[in-house]
Amino acid sequence: MAGSWGRFNIVSLVLGFAFLYLPILLLVIYSFNESRLVTVWAGFSTKWYVELFSNRGLMDAAWVTARVAFLSATVATVLGTMAAIALTRYTRFRGRLLFSGMVFAPLVMPEVITGLSLLLLFVAINFDRGFFTVTIAHITFSMCFVAVVVQSRLMSFDQSLEEAALDLGATPAKAFFQVTLPVILPAVISGWMLAFTLSLDDLVIASFTSGPGATTLPMKIYSQVRLGVTPEINAVCTILIGIVALGVIAASIVTKRQEVQRRRDEQAAIRVAG
């Protein structure tokens, strides 16, 4: 189909990507603005970044967010991978329909509903709100995203490889950790990263479920954004964008290398077999 890649397609792609990237680009550019007025350019300066690091409240919030994101992404990856395995490997078990419903519904559920319902649960069981309630809330919705990512990888995975390992006397656990996991690892890693950024990003659910002393970075940014656009906020956002962009690019390079390596191995195996 390459021949039919006409002018129309190129124009729509260029316009589409300009629309997607221009706002972010402008935000990054204006974080280096000398002037406090965000929309008047007054020369290049990094002073907002320097000021940022002396902002105690912002730094505390960043630390809380980093811990919540790390812990919730890790637990969500384990639970999400289990859910993915349950959905692809075990096609018959009691309540499977309910289970798959519970895995897919949080993907589209409005955040205000998820946030409110979790808060009411924590109040009902008398659980003090704070670091752990935010973490539990983040695990719950991000494990579903992990499950979807891992599931799509598991579906293209040749199950006979695992069966072969079992036939050769491996225990199920060994077969999983030595055969299945290495194959689905790229999906598990990108699931972890997705869960991490979802947690880093979340404002609504955190606002409902957090308590005193557990203000996350998005909550802090939100309360300042309501007072107006400031260069400090642009600087915080630029740093966050930078971290995420670096992570995603690094992950894609790693995946690509593994893919190349895998292909080379396969070809070598075919040559040996031939």
Partner 1 sequence: MARFVSAIAARFVIALAYLWLLVFFLAPFLIVFKISLSEPALAMPPYQPVFDLFAGFSAFFEKLRALSFSNYLWLFDDPLYVNAYLSSIWIATVSTLITLAVGYPIAYGMARAPASIRPTLLMLVILPFWTSFLIRVYAWIGILKPEGLLNQFLMFLGLIDEPLVILNTTTAIYIGIVYSYLPFMVLPLYSTLEKMDGSLIEAARDLGCPPMAAFWKVTFPMSLPGVVAGCMLVFIPAVGEFVIPDLLGGSRTLMIGKTLWTEFFNNRDWPVSSAVAVILLLILIVPIMLFQRSQARSREAGN
Q: Coil, strand or helix: which one is 44?
A: strand
Point out which span in 26-34, 43-51, 56-64, 260-268 binds partner 1 (CB under 8 A). 26-34
Residue 41 Cα distances to 20, 48, 51, 137, 238, angstroms: 23, 14, 19, 41, 17
Is 208:118 a contact under the CB 8 Å cutoff?
Answer: yes
- If one asks whether residue 223 binds partner 1 (CB under 8 A), the answer comes out as no
Minimum separation from the CB atom of position 273 to partner 1 (A) = 28
Q: Choose one: 42-50, 104-112, 179-187, 261-269; the region binding partner 1 (CB under 8 A).
A: 104-112
- Which structure tokens are listed for 156? 């293209």
Q: Shortest approach of partner 1 to residue 96 CB, angstroms?
A: 9
- Single out the residue of 43, 44, 56, 95 in contact with partner 1 (rule: CB under 8 A): 95
Q: Does 64 engage in binding with partner 1 (CB under 8 A)?
A: no
Contact 84, 147 (CB under 8 A): yes
Size of the site for partner 1 (CB under 8 A): 91
Please give the Cα distance from 163 to 28 (Å, whole number): 51
Binding mask 128-147 for partner 1 (x = CB under 8 A): --------xx-xx--x---x
Region near partner 1 per CB under 8 A, out of 43-51, 52-60, 90-98, 177-185: 90-98
Contact residues for 217 (Cβ-Cβ < 8 A; gap 6+): 58, 61, 62, 64, 65, 200, 236, 240
CA atoms within 13 A on the CB side of 51: 15
Binding mask 238-257 for partner 1 (x = CB under 8 A): --xx--xx--x---x-----
Instruction: Choose between 53 and 90: whose C-beta lies nearer to partner 1.
Output: 90
What is the length of the chain? 274
Taking residue 227's Cβ as centre, other Cβ atoms within 10 Å add up to: 8
- By beta-carbon proximity to partner 1, the closer residue of 55 and 222 is 222
Binding range to partner 1, per CB under 8 A, among 45-53, 55-63, 97-105, 265-273? 97-105
Question: Please, which of residues 176-205 interact with partner 1 by CB under 8 A?
Answer: 193-194, 197, 200-201, 203-204
